[in-house]
Chains A and B, each alone.
Chain A
Amino acid sequence: MTQSHRIPGRGLIDRSQPLNFTFDGVMYQGYQGDTLASALLANGVRLMGRSFKYHRPRGVLTAGSEEPNALVEVFENGQHTPNTRATMAELYGGMVARSQNRWPSLGLDVMAVNDLLSPFFSAGFYYKTFMWPRAFWEKLYEPAIRRAAGLGRLDRRHDEAAYEKAFAHCDLLVIGAGPTGLMAAMAAAQAGADVILADEGSALGGRILADQPEIGDMPGLTWLETMRTDLAAMPNVRIMTRTTVTGAYDDGTFGALERVGLHLADPGDLPRECFWRIHARRAILAAGALERPIAHRDNDRPGVMLASGLRAYVSRWGVNPGKVVLFSNNDSGLATARALTGMGIDVSYVDPRPIPVTEEFPVYAEARVIATQGRKGLKSVDIQHRGGTSRVEARTLALSGGWNPSVHLACHLNGRPQWDETIAAFVPRSDMVPGMIVAGAARGTFSTGACLQDGLEAAQASLTALGIRKKPRLGVPVAEAAPYRIAPVWAVEGDGRAWLDFANDVTVKDVKLSAQEGFQSVEHMKRYTTQGMAPDQGKSSNVAALAVLADATGQGIAATGTTTYRPPFVPVSIAAMGAGGRGTGFAPQRFLTSDAQSRAMGAPMIEAGLWYRPSYFPRAGEKDWRDAAEREAVMVRGAVGVCDVSTLGKIDVQGKDAGRFLDFLYTNTMSTLPVGKVRYGLMLREDGFVMDDGTCARLGPDHFLVTTTTAAAGQVMRHMDFVQQAFCADCDVRTISVTEGWAQFAIAGPKAREVLATLGDAPDLPFMGCAPMTVAGIAGRLFRISFSGEQGYEVAVPTRYGKDLFARLVTAAESLEGCAYGMEALNILRVEKGFITHAEIHGRTTADDVGLGKMVSAKKDCIGKAASQRPGLSEDRQQLVGLMPVNQGETLSAGAHLYNERDPATRVHDQGYVTSVAPSPTLGTWLGLGFVVNGRARHGEVIRLDDGLRKRQVLVEIVDPVFFDPEGGRMRD
């Protein structure tokens, strides 16, 4: 299809690169350099969407990221992205876009019936109209309203596209690359500052691209190209186009969204978007200003747009708007009328001010637009003027109600802008964001000349603050510096509906109704009318809305104030903020040296913290985890098993005072431990509850190696550092985590020594002994400790030998009728022995609760000792017990609660709960560990296990938690 509305020769588009695209299934052509919006306009398409509530036909209002109307769905790789602003979607060959919020089509939308019913949909309608009958809300009203309203539809699938997040640091972040930002960046860069220049446009220049003013006695575009080339050549400048700075946060931190691959037909490996966190020592906000429309009857038809948007479409994209009526209350609108006329556009100018009528185009002074016609596209405009009312034919109505400085980022730390009567706009106060200077149009300095000057001054002030003495070379080029004059007009009086917030369908009447019904604070009005709550956050409408509110309440604009400005400045996809965090990217994965072999042996892996550990090693004929785990447990008790225990935290503690330090850290005494011995240790939190347990091996007089549980390794390391630095800073002791330095394997069972012998000369260790050991020529360590209740060793080698050692151990064990065993068998073995894990020491149990009260030494202080002796931690506590089903075949379940046999399963009758269960092949029954009120005195009692989730009730006998080999002979001998 031809580009029927393109002006020959005009625009910054590359006519040598035509691009085909489709919108609602129709094929169109645009050029490289177009946005979807400009390309549609160039093809004569004005109708781009339907409004939120009334389904009114809408066209594009702006040429920027503040666009409220032209929201479309863009398709990529079989997925679609809703609510894409056509003004920000850069055209590429093959782009597929679709309008949204209409059915069956954009031209014929049956939901437009809402428009006829509009008297029922005024502000707060859902609080009034659908109140009764009450039951109808959830079943009927809400679903119906939700179907009718809302904008784009989510793609129901996971977003499989690539996103990134990244960090950047700089001396000076310049936000916005218009005249102000370019000057600021160049000046700071010349002085040697490390500068990031970020702009949300696809090219540097800001309004220079659209307004094309003279700068430094040359065309603005020429000046811009020189600046761009020079900046790009400077090593201390990073130019970030397509990057919207979305939020200002504490301590010079900014969020920014970069559109990396969105504008490319074939992005290759590029992500769609990248979310940046930029830390800047100083910042200059040069984000410019956003034009605002004027509310008048039917000011929302396709073909109505902002004067600044129109100027951009004509001069930057060569769009022919047809006959134009331009309604403006300020000099920038008048300047646009002159510029458009200069480009050959037929313009009629309407201004409520008594301006002189001495232009080359028709001027209606002291006049206003009072109505428009044209259902799916503007046809004519009614102008009320001194001589009466005229109906003027027009294809485009351009509105300019003045400019709002883009103060958003300056207000993100809860600063409030102040009202400036002379420009009828809110401007920032100084130092709203520490370290940030607002410059140029963003602080209400509108002329090009003044912006250039302001940019230089902001850079100079920033350089001083940065302590950079070198001065920039450049001077301020000559440019237009006319004063900006405006006579505020927010809404034209008259019948009918005059739109303020196009995105959320809020009219002047709605805001007045809000005031009338008592919602007079600007924050209340916002929530009652939904003004400013659409994706555009009311960028082009909030100020006019609060001006109408101020008029209705008589409070005045300054006293009415603004709503709170919050990040993000533009919508940020969750996918960009959470880049890399999907699936396995959610958390780091830690793999054992035995990982590959375990998986090759068919072991399902289970997460333990960030680690992946084998659950069990299935063999042929085993039908489920239980078959495998029970066989492994039997083999450990009968022959031998090997298990990778490298996930346990290992902390190396050295220094003359290491023993004394550990005495303070653990409840029991470690300083008396002889070299070559290992002791079980218990660690409390300062509030008296158990933090962790583990072993403490004395490798030398001043050298200990302590182990922690897998889950608490990080916490214990942090705790040790705290205790050392806060309370033992005078101790000669140093600690470091060596968890990843050593691969460690448990060898357990009556044949453990035989397996050990295959590795070399093993030292003959007593139970709880440790010694260096040369393992196949490698310097390793041997510990005689047991978590299975069998004769047990743990052998450690530097991590790089772990894979090989595991392979040797499995081979040796298998040759002795043993096996590798996983977490399930490990659990069976330790439950049989009543050994605790974090299922038992879960943060609410004391040393006495788990039966280890005697481990709190009376002879010394330790962390948590004082609090462990407080009243309330001693009487009627729930104590660790063993649980066995009265009927041997019955299954126990962890998490179930315990009740006296005849009591109902209610909270007041709760006697305790089950923490761990396991099927014991050795004892031929399920076993459980749990806590029961005064449980140690109740051995032999029968109690009811009640699992409400699984509807399971089992009578269990309270027994000693050590079910198997209570004397411990098997592991000692």
Chain B
Amino acid sequence: MRLPCPCCGSRDRREFTYYGAAEFLNRPAPDAGDAAWDDYLHNRDNPAGETRDLWYHDPCATWMEVTRNTVTHEVLKARALAGGVK
């Protein structure tokens, strides 16, 4: 598997650390309530098809959101969370 790092280009999967679904970016407000926080922390979809998840490129310290297809294994796009090179 290879991933397109927005900073370094296409790199082998061994250079990355996986973090989980991109929903983790939608952090609720501190006072959003237990249900919202529970949902944010624990509930994830398991889609057959397009999915967005978070990866860290260890050599350049870039966090990115990768859009990929869990059925075809296609990697569709990747964007840096902070919008550019760190």
Q: Mark A239-252, 1 if CB is under 8 A from B, else 0.
A: 00000000001111
Q: Could you tell me which residues of chain B, from 3 to 48, have a CB within 8 Å of some CB in chain A? A: 10, 12, 17, 19, 24-25, 27-28, 30-32, 34, 37-38, 41
* Residue pair B63, A725 in contact (C-beta under 8 Å): yes
Q: Could you tell me which residues of chain B, from 58 to 86, have a CB within 8 Å of some CB in chain A? A: 58, 61-63, 73-75, 80-83, 86
User: CB < 8 Å: which of A277, A434, A722, A866 contacts B56?
Assistant: A722
Contacts of B2 in A (CB 8 A): 250-253, 279
* Residue pair A866, B32 in contact (C-beta under 8 Å): yes
User: CB < 8 Å: which of A253, A725, A871 contacts B82?
Assistant: A725
Q: A722-B56, A725-B63 are in contact. Are A870 and B82 (CB under 8 A)?
A: no
Q: Could you tell me which residues of chain A, from 222 to 264, have a CB within 8 Å of some CB in chain B? A: 249-253
CA distance A251 to B75 in the complex (A): 9
* Residue pair B73, A250 in contact (C-beta under 8 Å): yes
A466 contacts partner chain B, Cβ-Cβ < 8 Å: no
* Residue pair A721, B56 in contact (C-beta under 8 Å): yes
Contacts of A718 in B (CB 8 A): 17, 56, 58
Q: Hey, which bits of chain B sit against chain A, CB under 8 A?
A: 1-2, 10, 12, 17, 19, 24-25, 27-28, 30-32, 34, 37-38, 41, 54, 56, 58, 61-63, 73-75, 80-83, 86
B32 to chain A, nearest CB (A): 7
A591 contacts partner chain B, Cβ-Cβ < 8 Å: no
Q: A722-B63, A725-B86 are in contact. Are A870 and B34 (CB under 8 A)?
A: yes
CA distance A253 to B74 in the complex (A): 13
* Residue pair B1, A251 in contact (C-beta under 8 Å): yes
14 more A-B residue pairs beyond the given contacts A726-B63, A729-B83, with a C-beta to C-beta distance below 8 A = A250-B73, A251-B10, A253-B1, A277-B12, A413-B73, A686-B41, A687-B41, A725-B62, A725-B63, A729-B82, A861-B30, A865-B30, A866-B28, A870-B38
B72 to chain A, nearest CB (A): 9
User: CB < 8 Å: which of B12, B19, B30 contacts A866?
Assistant: B30
Tell me if B's interface is mostly helix, strand, loop or mixed.
mixed
Contacts of A865 in B (CB 8 A): 30
A sample of 11 cross-chain residue pairs with beta-carbon separation below 8 angstroms, ordered by A number, consists of A250-B1, A251-B75, A253-B2, A687-B41, A718-B56, A726-B25, A726-B81, A726-B82, A729-B83, A870-B34, A870-B38
User: CB < 8 Å: which of A249, A434, A722, A729 contacts B1?
Assistant: A249
CA distance A253 to B11 in the complex (A): 11
A727 contacts partner chain B, Cβ-Cβ < 8 Å: yes
CA distance A251 to B4 in the complex (A): 11
CA distance A252 to B10 in the complex (A): 11
Contacts of B1 in A (CB 8 A): 249-251, 253
CA distance A504 to B63 in the complex (A): 50
A724 contacts partner chain B, Cβ-Cβ < 8 Å: yes
CA distance A729 to B31 in the complex (A): 22
User: CB < 8 Å: which of A250, A413, A870 contacts B37?
Assistant: A870
Contacts of B83 in A (CB 8 A): 729
Contacts of A717 in B (CB 8 A): 61
A867 contacts partner chain B, Cβ-Cβ < 8 Å: yes
CA distance A675 to B25 in the complex (A): 33
A738 to chain B, nearest CB (A): 13
| In the complex, the 6 A-B pairs of residues with the closest C-beta atoms, listed nearest first | A725-B82, A251-B2, A725-B81, A729-B82, A725-B63, A861-B30
Closest to B32 in A: A866
Q: Mark A661-700, 1 if CB is under 8 A from B, else 0.
A: 0000000000000000000000000110000000000000
* Residue pair B61, A867 in contact (C-beta under 8 Å): no
B25 to chain A, nearest CB (A): 6
Contacts of B27 in A (CB 8 A): 686, 727
Contacts of B81 in A (CB 8 A): 722, 725-726, 729
CA distance A903 to B56 in the complex (A): 49
* Residue pair A722, B82 in contact (C-beta under 8 Å): no
CA distance A727 to B41 in the complex (A): 16
CA distance A49 to B63 in the complex (A): 57
CA distance A871 to B38 in the complex (A): 11
B42 to chain A, nearest CB (A): 8
Q: Mark A733-773, 1 if CB is under 8 A from B, else 0.
A: 01000000000000000000000000000000000000000
A684 to chain B, nearest CB (A): 12
CA distance A251 to B2 in the complex (A): 6
Closest to B40 in A: A686
* Residue pair A866, B25 in contact (C-beta under 8 Å): no
CA distance A253 to B2 in the complex (A): 8
* Residue pair A867, B41 in contact (C-beta under 8 Å): yes
Q: A253-B1, A729-B81, A866-B28 are in contact. Are A722 and B34 (CB under 8 A)?
A: no
B37 to chain A, nearest CB (A): 5
CA distance A249 to B19 in the complex (A): 22
CA distance A724 to B1 in the complex (A): 27
Q: Mark A65-99, 1 if CB is under 8 A from B, else 0.
A: 00000000000000000000000000000000000
CA distance A413 to B75 in the complex (A): 15
Contacts of B86 in A (CB 8 A): 721, 725, 734
A580 to chain B, nearest CB (A): 14
Q: Mark A849-873, 1 if CB is under 8 A from B, else 0.
A: 0000000000001000111001100
